[in-house]
Amino acid sequence: MPEPVLNRRRLILISAGVMTAAITGCRSTDILNPDDGQARAETDAALPMVNRLRQSRGLSSLSRGRPAEVAAVAQAKRMARAGEMSHLIGFNDSFGARMKGHGVPLPAAENIAAGQDSVERAVQAWIDSKRHLDNMTGSFNGLGVAVAWDSASGNRPYWAMVLSA
């Protein structure tokens, strides 16, 4: 084949590969069951720790928020599948769209972590980070916390906390 035709075919194939990667990376709004075995909801364990922190600062206690918990499970799973700790995973990801897709009352915030071997250590890591601490002491009512494991990298735990109105 003449060189211009080959170059055009390569460009088309490369473009198709990029589009396929972008499309398959977009799985940010799937609603997942917190009890399906790949991830575990940890809200009940985290809630007393977060509420002790809030009460020590004169703030009202949070409640377990089912939509926030489902969103936390979904985010922990997304990070474990990607093998990456990130709020935004995949092409055209949006925190607001994810929260809306899970029915999380807004405003909302998300804390993430990776590598901690217990919910206590994950919550402590968030307390030790000013930005994450600010989220936990913000004007929120609901809480969801979850962990999922990346089996491809030796079962590294990925943590997500979602705080909601």
Residue 159 above 80 pLDDT?
Answer: yes
CA pair distance 68, 74, nearest whole angstrom: 10
Query: Does residue 18 belong to any structural domain of this protein?
Result: no
Query: Does residue 10 belong to any structural domain of this protein?
Result: no
Per-residue model confidence as pLDDT tens digits over 40-62? 999 999 999 999 999 999 999 99
Where in the sequence is the domain holding 96, given as residue range(s)? 39-164
Sorted by sequence, the CB contacts under 8 Å of residue 47 that are 6+ apart come out as 62, 63, 64, 143, 145
Query: Does residue 60 belong to any structural domain of this protein?
Result: yes
Summarize the confidence of residues 103-128 as an average pLDDT. 96
CATH code, domain carrying 75: 3.40.33.10
Task: Report which listed range, 17-21, 56-60, 80-84, is most confident.
Answer: 56-60
- Domain total of the chain: 1
Query: Does residue 29 belong to any structural domain of this protein?
Result: no
Query: Does residue 141 belong to any structural domain of this protein?
Result: yes
Residue 20 above 50 pLDDT?
Answer: no
